[in-house]
Amino acid sequence: MPALFFRYKINQCGAQEMGRETVLYNSLVDIVGEEFVSNEPEDLYLYSCDGGTTEPRGVDYVVLPRTVEEVQKIVILANKEKIPLTPMGGGLTLNGLVIPVHGGIVMDMKRMDRIIEVNESSRYVVLEAGVSQGALLSYLKKHHPDLQHSLPEAPSIATVVGNILIRGHGSLSQCGDHSNMLNGIEVVLPTGEICPVGSCSASPHWFSKGPLPDLTGLFIGWFGTTGIVTKASLRLYPRPAKRDMVLFVTQNPDLIPELVSRLVQTRMADNIGMMEQEKPEYMKGYQFTGVIISGDTEEEMDYKRSVLARVPETCGDSENRVTLLGEVPPSSKERFLEEPPFAAVAADFRKGGGFQYCGIMMPVEKVPEAWRRGIAIAHDNGMLFQCANQVMSAGHEVMFGFNYSFNRADEEDAERARKAMADTNKLGLELGGIPWKADLQAQKQIVEKMDPRTRALMQKVKTLLDPNGIMNPGNWED
Amino acid sequence: MALTDYKDIIHRCFRCGYCKFTSDYSYLGFNCPMYNKARLESYSPGGLMWLIYASLIKEELTPSKHLSEILYSCTMCRNCSEECKFQFNEDIVNILKAAREEMVEKQLTPQMVGQFLKNVYDYGNPYREHKENRANWAEDTGIKHYEKGDEFLYYVGCVGSYDSASQKAARALGSVLVKSGLSFGILGDREICDGNEVDMLGEKGLFEFLKEENTRIFRELGVKKIVTLSPHSYNALKNSYPDEFEVVHYTQLLRDLIKNGALNVSGGFTAKVTYHDPCFLGRYNNEYDAPREILAALPGVELIEMERTRENSFCCGGGCGNFYTDILGSGTDAPGRIRVREARDTGASILAVTCPVCVMMLEDALKAEGLEDKLVIKDISEIVNEALS
Amino acid sequence: MDVYGSLVEIVGEGFVSNQEEELYIYSRDSGAQQPRRADYVVVPKTVEEVQRIVVLANRENIPVTPMGGGLTLSGLAVPLHGGIVLDMKRMDRIIEVNEKSRYAVMEAGVTQGALHSHLEKNYPHLEHSMPDAPPMATIVGNVVIQGHGHLSVSCGINSQMVNGMEVVLPTGEVCKLGSCAVSPYWFSRDPLPDLMGLFIGWLGTTGIVTKVSLQLFPKPKFRDLLTFTSDDLDLLPDFIFDITQLNLMDNLFIISQEWPPWAQGILYVPIVSGQDEEEFELKIRLHKELVRKYEGKVTLVEGKHAERMRAARLPVPPVTLGVMAADAKQGGGFEYTGGIVPIEKVPEVSSRSVEIAHKYGQPYLLGYQLLTGGHSMMCGLAYCLNRADGGDVEKIRNALDDTSKMILDAGGVLWKAEAPAQRLMVQKMDPNTVELMKRVMKALDPNAIMNPGNWSE
């Protein structure tokens, strides 16, 4: 038996109360139908763990609703019976955010997979919570080839809504993060009400978040603790005819803030990302900064390339230089220009099926220190250093991704990765940054560091919306 | 013009607030000294316009002591007229003046304003100083009284005559004019208030009286050309008195005297200087260059401009008799204190001025700020006088 | 309880008033709404003073209305139920400008003009997105009403440009929101649970924002605009689609006015910028080439009118045309309905606006701004009013009411809506959403002291 199987714990909640379990099971079957509920160990197993380092945690039921009415009924039931409820999209945060902390029901949203409307004139798409990034990409390419959405660097099964709610970012990161692109949502509150939020609450059209009171914030970044988003309206952007990548290399992370600043100042980029990896050997010690550009004509593209080509001379000095890579290997280009970029290749570093990364949002001037200390942390934990970073909008912040690839079949290796993650979260907070899509441990560190009155306000909001504490409990706790 | 003559204009103010700023919205602070200090919207140009309309035209509000305090807090520096984007911008200050005239008629002026006006009426100056002492500042200066046939009347004004700090400027200018060989004289104790502040404070009757009296004296002595120490006097004599007098401010005259060689300023004065444009020379009469040309003619002078210069100059807070009535009050946000801090921040050692009211206000501010060792206030007449010796 | 005495104790005598003159000024603005009496005006300097005032107001059940520039024209800073108007403009410090991470932290009273000037002087390669409003408008005020500025199309609306806030809750706690709650740096809104939304769009009913961190953007070296004209309203959605597909604008105005006569058609005014001349010229050329497809139905305007448009609309902030338009009646009053609508609704909204204007005997005055990269349009449907003529003011109030109803009917929403228009919106909203709003307001403001009467039925 694989080692992990023995660590799978029997669920905490109601395991011995056969009567209750049966009643609950039957109630769920009544709502979604027998095929879409399970409390079989094999099914629950998959929902109790993810590809990251999180230790598995027990799940009592998994349920797959199809309609918002089904979601509502499940929520009302969970509220009545005080059963924890954890909504789940693609489950690809790798930080265990959709693995319940206190058992209960996992609500897999992926059957709610309709793209409801694409409005070309006002450039938005209304979709259900289970629509995957891949499905939206493909749908737009086929039916609305002039439009695109900002695509995160993640496997295509990640959901659009899930990514918005953790404030993801993607191919159009210069437009901001994806929660910035939200026009509205439909949400089922923990107390069971279905609320449209945004212009859709006062109009048939989902074209704008404001200027109504911004209620969407109550569901963004909360990791499902305040309600279940069942629909969203996401802004779309023009899809230009051409895309290319320009790559810069440095050998000193101290150059990065200035380089990023100059690149942002040109306003040419769709996306600016940085990376380093210690294998293959020839890549060690080099920082790569990739700029994605796009345009409708070759003239525009040539122009953008020529502007970017002039950036290196404005940075650094004779000892520390920024170099433009004249010839970028096609395979590298493809890796970055593909939609979505095939990030999983980095994940397979250790060839062990395990991967997690610590994404720290930080001011750009902290990047050099983060880089150096990140290398130290990786090495101290017996790992290779690998990072993939993203510049957000006009250089307003950097998502610094410290990648840890590990072998799932080797518990010691997983433990090393776990420790490296913990050290990195600590580093991030020390630098004045904040862990993105923070795992439980990082959440605790954040809350401890938080202004106490802000902490109190957070709890107040949670209690207001979820008086019985059923929504993904254990997250953002005080 | 009476307030009713403006009744189609007063309500046109939108309270949009451009009037509070410099032309480039300087972060240093609001350029309306009254609003910058008081910060209540009532104490802003828009506030004044709306309150004048409400109380004196539409009669929704009963004119009160508090209204009077608000209306008289303005130093009439004209920044608002300068910055207002609408076509009625020129009338803003005139509307306030007309409103003050009504307040005077209603006997609703602040106590100190009433005192100021009474003093001018009784003594010919706001200080309750006796007429006989008016020319004491000129003792032992060699400056003579004006006689028929002299080219210029040197008109000193009340502040230059009686305030000790400003008297230095009066003497310095006199000395410079003597050295230039110009034919001129002063009125001595026959000089009475030109009435500029009286006019601004809305005491129309008294202003007319002063104007008539001064005009009579000038005519009696055959005065044709007048050079004033104070821009306040310059403003009244040039714009409100009969056209027959050719009026210049002393900076215009000195600039010409330097240009035509009558004054040789090529040696003797070295300093880093910053210059404060006074409201009544600058915004009221568009004279920003003459003082600067004088400073440029002094080889040892390095002019370092403050951020708020020319049309954007920040009023010293002394206008409309505030140098006496002190309605704007003191404290770190008093306009004079803000201005001397601004001058200090240029790194200059001298803050050059061309107005006796500015001299007074800024000297007081300097002391209040404890900056006497960092900065010296000098009237340009003093600077030129030192450059000549 | 001597409220006046307590307020004097908190801010000092010079910064409180309950005298008729101050109350008069703070009880009304330049729009068409009925005046509403304020009881006290208070001008605090520090967040501690704000906190003490809020604690007092909570204890004594006195409404509090925070005020920035007071320039919404829809009376949002004029209390609906009396109480204290809190004029935030003495809190006017710019605390920090972080060049590398491009943000500025400032107090709630910092004006658009002051920030603009400070950046121009000290950080000339940076700018903020400045709204088409008098420079006395505050940064915070504009953010919390979800305003938009001259970088709307390229960079988004101003409520999206906020990295952090400090707020005083109605119950008196001072909270930091965003990264500043956890870090010394005010660089990021995420990735914490979003609490900032609780203070954006709520019209002061949930608390008082005392500080904000605003994102700054690279300032281009070259800027210009183009003016296109068309008589065909139905072409508008297509033209907007095409011009936004180019994805090269900073901003887009659409103007149509009965006066002056040359502005009577539809005028499209894209603003284009570049870091160097070549880029800039390329962009201008690509925009000019765009109209070829429209075969004369959309044409480039050149000459005297183009110059006037340039003078009016290019400066940041634009002054002349809007300001002149406001004074058309020489009446000192102006107010507009800001209808935010999907792009395809703009032709319908425009025709119906003209009808309403004429119904009330007014010239039509349509000033639109495109929001974000072509996702919605803010349609400013404006009326001048003569403050000296009570009948005229009432007529315009009714015109605005009709206009609001028309926007809602067309499926739009109302930007910075005056109280009557808010009521129309709330009545139209999904009752569950209204309920959620009320619950949030009650949770944060149990005694309902914060700008009460807003967002209510």
Q: For C174-226, how does the pLDDT look when each residue is reduced to its tens digit (9 = 90+)?
A: 999 999 999 999 999 988 999 999 999 999 999 999 999 999 999 999 999 99
Among C190, C344, C371, beta carbon nearest to A221: C190
Q: Which residues pair with A276 in a beta bridge?
A: A387
Mean pLDDT within B68-83: 97
Nearest CA in chain C to B331: C14
Q: Which residues pair with B155 in a beta bridge?
A: B228
Q: Judge if C173 and C283 occupy the same domain.
A: no
Last residue of a domain, one of A48, A73, A108: A108
A364 and A260 in contact (C-beta within 8 Å)?
A: yes
Nearest 5°: the CA angle B339, B344, B345 is: 95
pLDDT given for residue C322 in this prediction = 57
Query: How many domains, in total, are found in chain C?
Result: 3
Dist. CA B314–CA B316, nearest whole Å:
6
Give which of B15, B66, B89 to mutate to test C binding, by max C Cβ within 10 Å: B15
Two structure tokens written together for A381? 């934990």
Q: Judge if C166 and C288 occupy the same domain.
A: no
Q: Of the ranges A320-334, B17-31, B306-320, which one carries the lowest mean pLDDT score?
A: A320-334
pLDDT tier for residue A345 given thresholds of 50, 70 and 90: low
Identify all chain B residues contacting C320, using CB atoms and an 8 Å cutoff: 85
Dist. CA B214–CA A439, nearest whole Å:
87
Dist. CA A107–CA A86, nearest whole Å:
6
Any idea which residue has 């440029």 for tokens?
B296
Cβ pair A194:C432 closer than 8 A: yes
Dist. CA C57–CA C83, nearest whole Å:
9
Per the model's pLDDT, the better-predicted residue between A346 and B229 turns out to be B229
Q: Judge if C69 and C105 occupy the same domain.
A: no
Q: For C441-456, how does the pLDDT look when each residue is reduced to its tens digit (9 = 90+)?
A: 999 999 999 999 999 8
Q: Which residues pair with C255 in a beta bridge?
A: C267, C367
SS (H, E, C) A416-476: HHHHHHHHHHHHHHHCCCEEECCCHHHHHHHHHHCCHHHHHHHHHHHHHHCCCCCECCCCC
Mean pLDDT within A424-449: 94
A350 and A405 in contact (C-beta within 8 Å)?
A: yes
Q: Judge if C32 and C78 occupy the same domain.
A: yes
Cβ pair C440:A119 closer than 8 A: no
Last residue of a domain, one of A108, A125, A154: A108
B305 touches chain C (CB under 8 A): no
Cβ pair C25:B61 closer than 8 A: no
Q: Which helix (H) or strand (E) holds C406?
A: helix C390-409
Nearest by Cα to C249 from C283, C277, C299, C215: C283
B254 and B227 in contact (C-beta within 8 Å)?
A: no
Q: Judge if A17 and A122 occupy the same domain.
A: no
13-52 in C: which are within 8 Å (CB) of A? none
Q: Judge if A234 and A367 occupy the same domain.
A: no
SS (H, E, C) B112-141: HHHHHHHHHHHHCCCCCCCHHHCCHHHCCC
Cβ pair A210:C246 closer than 8 A: no
Nearest 5°: the CA angle A145, A270, A373 is: 135
Two structure tokens written together for B145? 């009284």
Show me where the domains of chain B are located.
Answer: 3-109, 112-256, 262-388
Which chains reach chain C with 3 or more Cβ–Cβ distances below 8 angstroms?
Answer: A, B
Does residue A156 carry a pLDDT above 70?
yes
Identify all chain C residues contacting B87, using CB atoms and an 8 Å cutoff: 327
Cβ-proximal residues to A434 (8 Å cutoff; 6+ apart), any chain: A360, A361, A362, A428, A446, C179, C182, C183, C188, C190, C191, C192
Tell me the three state secondary structure of residue A311: coil
Nearest CA in chain C to A203: C411
Q: Judge if A289 and A395 occupy the same domain.
A: yes
Q: Which residues pair with B145 in a beta bridge?
A: B186
CA atoms within 13 Å, Cβ hemisphere of B6: 24
Query: How many domains, in total, are found in chain A?
Result: 3
Q: Judge if A132 and A200 occupy the same domain.
A: yes
Identify all chain B residues contacting C311, using CB atoms and an 8 Å cutoff: none
Q: Judge if A270 and A286 occupy the same domain.
A: yes
Does residue B109 carry a pLDDT above 80?
yes
Chains A and B touch (3+ CB pairs under 8 A): no
Cβ pair A193:C188 closer than 8 A: no
Identify all chain C residues contacting A162, using CB atoms and an 8 Å cutoff: none
Q: Which domain holds residue C150?
A: 90-218
Mean pLDDT within A195-224: 95
Any idea which residue has 């290399």 for tokens?
A249
DSSP letter at A38? E
Cβ-proximal residues to A13 (8 Å cutoff; 6+ apart), any chain: A58, A60, A83, A84, A102, A103, A104
pLDDT tier for residue B268 given thresholds of 50, 70 and 90: confident
Distance from CA of C217 to the nearest CA of A (A): 6
Nearest CA in chain C to B59: C388
315-374 in C: which are within 8 Å (CB) of A? 338, 340-345, 371-374
Q: Judge if C323 and C381 occupy the same domain.
A: yes
Q: Judge if A302 and A415 occupy the same domain.
A: yes
Residue A141, number of CB atoms within 10 A of its CB: 13
**Mean model confidence pLDDT for chain B:** 95
DSSP letter at A395? T
B115 touches chain C (CB under 8 A): no
B138 and B167 in contact (C-beta within 8 Å)?
A: no
Cβ pair A438:C191 closer than 8 A: yes
Dist. CA B106–CA A326, nearest whole Å:
84
Does residue A2 carry a pLDDT above 60?
no
CA atoms within 13 Å, Cβ hemisphere of C128: 37
C17 and B40 in contact (C-beta within 8 Å)?
A: yes
Angstrom distances, CA of residue B360 to CA of B103, B227, B321:
28, 21, 12
Distance from CA of B368 to the nearest CA of C (A): 20
Is B262-388 a domain of CATH 2.60.40?
A: no
Nearest CA in chain B to C89: B39
* Structural domain includes residue C17: yes
190-219 in A: which are within 8 Å (CB) of C? 193-197, 199, 201-205, 207-208, 210-218
* Structural domain includes residue A116: yes
Alpha helices (H) along B222-321: 231-239, 250-259, 289-296
Dist. CA C83–CA C102, nearest whole Å:
39
A454 and C175 in contact (C-beta within 8 Å)?
A: yes
Q: Judge if C259 and C389 occupy the same domain.
A: yes
B40 touches chain C (CB under 8 A): yes
C216 touches chain A (CB under 8 A): yes
B307 touches chain C (CB under 8 A): yes
pLDDT given for residue A21 in this prediction = 62
Q: Judge if C75 and C193 occupy the same domain.
A: no
Among C100, C197, C416, beta carbon nearest to A215: C197
Mean pLDDT within A58-79: 96
B387 and B268 in contact (C-beta within 8 Å)?
A: yes
CATH number of the domain that residue A19 is part of: 3.30.43.10
CATH number of the domain that residue A292 is part of: 3.40.462.10
Residues in chain C: 457
Does residue A124 carry a pLDDT above 90?
yes
C428 touches chain A (CB under 8 A): yes
pLDDT given for residue A343 in this prediction = 64
Q: Judge if C334 and C389 occupy the same domain.
A: yes
Q: Judge if C83 and C108 occupy the same domain.
A: no
Does residue B140 carry a pLDDT above 50?
yes
Tell me the three state secondary structure of residue A158: coil
pLDDT given for residue A11 in this prediction = 42
Which chains reach chain A with 3 or more Cβ–Cβ distances below 8 angstroms?
Answer: C
Q: Judge if A248 and A365 occupy the same domain.
A: yes
Q: Which domain holds residue A42?
A: 3-108
Residues in chain B: 389
pLDDT tier for residue C276 given thresholds of 50, 70 and 90: confident
pLDDT given for residue A344 in this prediction = 63
What ranges make up the beta strands (E) of C329-417?
Answer: 332-341, 365-371, 376-386, 413-415
Among B15, B39, B70, beta carbon nearest to C43: B39
Two structure tokens written together for A453? 């009155």
Nearest CA in chain A to C423: A202
Q: Judge if C74 and C151 occupy the same domain.
A: no
CATH number of the domain that residue C47 is part of: 3.30.43.10
pLDDT given for residue A44 in this prediction = 92
Q: Judge if C261 and C247 occupy the same domain.
A: yes
A242-250 vs A323-324, strand pairing mode: antiparallel
Cβ pair A217:C195 closer than 8 A: yes
B85 touches chain C (CB under 8 A): yes
Mean pLDDT within C21-30: 96
Two structure tokens written together for B73? 């807090």
Among C25, C136, C319, beta carbon nearest to B85: C319
Identify all chain B residues contacting C319, using CB atoms and an 8 Å cutoff: 85
Angstrom distances, CA of residue B381 to CA of B175, B187, B238, B294:
9, 19, 21, 10
Cβ-proximal residues to A374 (8 Å cutoff; 6+ apart), any chain: A385, A387, A400, A402, A424, A427
Q: Judge if A329 and A382 occupy the same domain.
A: yes
Last residue of a domain, one of C218, C241, C260: C218
Q: Judge if A94 and A180 occupy the same domain.
A: no
Among C176, C179, C436, beta carbon nearest to A195: C436
pLDDT given for residue B303 in this prediction = 98
A280 touches chain C (CB under 8 A): no
Residue A134, number of CB atoms within 10 A of its CB: 18
Cβ pair B62:C20 closer than 8 A: yes
Q: What percent of chain B has pLDDT above 70?
A: 100
Tell me the three state secondary structure of residue A185: strand
Q: What percent of chain A has pLDDT above 70?
A: 95
Q: Judge if C266 and C396 occupy the same domain.
A: yes
A429 touches chain C (CB under 8 A): yes
Q: Judge if A98 and A117 occupy the same domain.
A: no
Q: Judge if A230 and A250 occupy the same domain.
A: no
Nearest by Cα to A223 from A297, A303, A164: A164
Dist. CA B238–CA B245, nearest whole Å:
8
Dist. CA C101–CA A363, nearest whole Å:
6
Does residue A7 carry a pLDDT above 80?
no
Last residue of a domain, one of A108, A124, A157: A108
